[in-house]
Amino acid sequence: MKQSLYLTNEGILEREGNTIYFIREGEKKAIPINNISEILCLARVSLRSGAIAFLFENCVPVHFLNMYGHYTGSLYPRNFLIAGKVLMKQVAFCLDSMKRLNIAKEFVQGIKYNTLKTLKYYSNRGKDINFEDVENLNPDNAIDIPTLMSIEGKIWDNYYKNFNEILKNFEFTKRERRPPTNEINALISFGNSLLYSTTLSEIYNTYLNPAISFLHEPQERRYSLALDISEIFKPLLVERTIFKLVNKQMLTEKHFENELKGVYLNDEGKRIYLKEYDERLNTTIKHPTLEREVSYRRLIRLECYKIVKHIIEDEEYKCFKMWW
């Protein structure tokens, strides 16, 4: 199984022969390119032209997060999986208001189900959780995308209202994005950036075009399909990671920095989060349909495959819902 490579220190990526090296403070470390699915740069990393060309030859995308943990962009190889039929169908479904709405509703149904699954998990462990406010919201009542986006926003708002009951060591009042004003908002923003990057890499390995979305509006300068799909997996891959790191005191106040621009993880905090996030991505579970062990990362790829099957009218799309 290929792994993500996280670069948390400043350095240079360069190519010598058929090998990529990461050079930092005079030290030179070879990168096993055949075992790398993607590279995430969380510090100032320079890429020499030879390294870029070699990474693209091996279909390895490179994602960049700034010092605050916000996604800033990607070096994306030329698509090596191209299917004109799928592209035309994907565009057609996006332009057809009802077909688009049906897919988007399924996304939000998945978000609702997975947030409820998380809340009920903690309710069963004695936490005073209010999950009825999420349960009472019905995405099927939406008549258009703006109404559906409003329902989705309410699901997340009511979900976040329970975090103080789940978390032991930090206070969390409401979701604030840019800038995050407290530690939990900083963790959510950082986790969302990582998941967006992971999802974009998984989309790259399918016939889908990442700029053509269904729930979020397709816009310039962003891969909005990655936003659509990543939303479904946030309760599993972002919030569950945060709850473990905070409640087991693997992350404490010393792992954050307060600046005029907000609260952010420091370098040590990022490394701790990345280690836990990567372990969660590689966690495996038996798939009920495939009847074999698959990783959580693989679940994202399978979600992409299901969307492809839906838009070529081969199989109705049913969103990922945690079954365990």
> pLDDT per residue over 77-106, tens digit each?
776 667 788 999 999 999 999 999 999 999
Band of residue 208 on the pLDDT scale cut at 50, 70, 90: very high
Six-digit token string for 202: 């998984």
Checking if the pLDDT of 163 tops 80, the result is: yes
- Is 1.10.540.10 the CATH classification of the domain at 84-311? no
Selection from 302, 309, 320 nearest residue 89 by Cα: 309
What's the pLDDT score for residue 80? 61
Query: Domain coordinates of the chain in residue numbers?
Result: 3-60, 84-311
Band of residue 218 on the pLDDT scale cut at 50, 70, 90: confident
Band of residue 256 on the pLDDT scale cut at 50, 70, 90: very high
CA dist., res. 297 & res. 281, Å (int): 5
**194 vs 180, which has greater pLDDT?**
194
For residue 306, CA distances in Å to 289, 299, 311 come to 13, 10, 9
Six-digit token string for 58: 């091996």
Average pLDDT, rounded, for the chain:
91
Q: Are strands 36-41 and 62-65 parallel, antiparallel or unpaired?
A: parallel
What's the pLDDT score for residue 3? 87
Strand locations in 211-300 (E): 256-259, 262-265, 284-286, 293-295
> Percentage of residues in the chain with pLDDT exceeding 70?
98
> Percentage of residues in the chain with pLDDT exceeding 90?
72
Instruction: Taking residues 224-235, report their average pLDDT.
Output: 96
One of 1.10.3720.10, 3.40.980.10, 3.100.10.20, 3.30.420.40 is the CATH number of 3-60, namely 3.100.10.20
Instruction: Taking residues 284-308, report their average pLDDT.
Output: 94
Checking if the pLDDT of 5 tops 70, the result is: yes
Q: How many residues does the chain have?
A: 324
Q: What is the DSSP string of 270-299?
A: HHHHHHHHHHHHT-EEE-TTT-SEEEHHHH
Give the other-Cβ count within 10 Å of 224's Cβ: 17
What's the pLDDT score for residue 148? 97
Q: What's this model's pTM, rounded to 2 decimal places? A: 0.92
What's the pLDDT score for residue 117? 95
CB of 151 closer than 8 Å to CB of 141: yes
In tens, the pLDDT along 20-75 reads 999 998 889 998 888 888 999 999 999 999 999 999 888 899 999 988 888 998 88
What's the pLDDT score for residue 79? 62
Checking if the pLDDT of 221 tops 70, the result is: no
Q: In degrees to the nearest 10, what's the CA dihedral of 93, 96, 98, 104?
A: 40
Checking if the pLDDT of 220 tops 70, the result is: no
Band of residue 258 on the pLDDT scale cut at 50, 70, 90: confident
